[in-house]
Amino acid sequence: MKESWRWYGPFDKISLSEVSQTGASGIVTALHEVPYGEIWSRDTIAGRKAEIKSAGFDWVVVESLPIHERIKRNDGKLSQLFANYRQSMANLAAEGIHAICYNFMPLLDWTRTDLAAPVERGGSCLRFSAPKMAALELYVIGRDQARADYPQEVIAEAEKWFQTSSDDDRAELMHSVMAGLPGAYERYDADGLKAALKLYEGIDRTALRSHLQRFLEEVVPAAEELGMRFCVHPDDPPRDILGLPRIVSDADDIAWLLNAVDSPANGLTLCAGSLGANPKNDVPSIARRFADKIHFAHLRNVRKDADGSFEEAAHLTGDTDMVELVSVLLQEEKRRRDAGVEPWEIPFRPDHGHDLLDDASRNTHPGYPLIGRLRGLAELRGVIAGLSRSGISTV
């Protein structure tokens, strides 16, 4: 498995020289400065690739080539947006970059209510509190329909939190949820969020699936011609949020997506944390079922609560059996290598991580500290080495 590291380019507080000391050999990044819907020029791609190469890395996965919100809503004439997307793909392929991780989550890439929840023995983690999210939906933005989306006991806890919270608490909650907005860096207040949500009125699960299928039909044939691997990232969290449908949350969703456009280019980013936040998901089993379609892996772990809350756990101590999951991925690598499949190696990155030691002082992107991810990478490296040496991974 190819050890990789997510890097936010010029926006990252962690330098490539620091990343080099982690031992990772691959970089996962994007042109975050390019507005959604515009073409990634070949010159700009080449410049970023040269910067990565000069630091001793390969640019192994694009995460992500963003999908414009109008495509997700199927809003208006989209031919130019699709054409721009395909041209960006062609420019990436021309520079030798052939893997694209993407998601189809409406409006928010990921959602957390706490960016620095305390963890045992020090440090902090990202957390999703179901009561606090219900409080934001019901009492901060006034989405009364949310009462049907949460159990009564969660709504009771939400009301209790709201009644005892200060203005600063509510502002911090909004800030945490807004941290999941993708690359545009615009953040909404309560009124702005309500206006953004209004654009999705009438778009249910069935409609969003049809919009995703249209997107795949527009880009997967081009990916085949270019020799590219498209790998969808599951929903985070794997449940409807703010009344927005989520359609890549479990094994059935993944099967539907992969069958919607049946192609070797239409694949999966196996995100252990996103899938692991759904109590019904057995992540190693999902990996085993779709192993031949896994083009990229995010390895992280979560610890779930009975009320639907969850938080980032250390990589080896959450609810997912990470050793079993890594074993599945190593077995798939062996199958590909033995069958002469290229590329046979699965790039992975230690996803998220606790803020440890002086991580908090760096003010990095939430979930992407230096030391916390280095700990995760070291733990995963040990698991991979142990399985590989023992031969367990090839049983």
Active-site positions?
A: 233, 271, 298, 351-352, 368
Q: CA-to-CA distance for 268 and 260, rounded, in angstroms?
A: 13
DSSP string, 276-339: HTSTT--HHHHHHHTGGGEEEEEE-EEEE-TTS-EEEEPTTTSSS-HHHHHHHHHHHHHHHHHH
- B/e letters for 189-205, b = 16+ CB within 10 Å, e = fewer, are eeeebeebbeebeebee
The SS3 call for residue 196 is: helix
Q: CA-to-CA distance for 325 and 310, rounded, in angstroms?
A: 20
Quick one: DSSP state of residue 81?
H
Ordered alpha helix ranges (H), the chain:
16-20, 42-54, 69-73, 79-94, 130-135, 152-164, 167-178, 190-198, 205-226, 251-260, 272-276, 283-289, 322-339, 370-390
Distance of CA 20 to the CA centre of its chain: 23
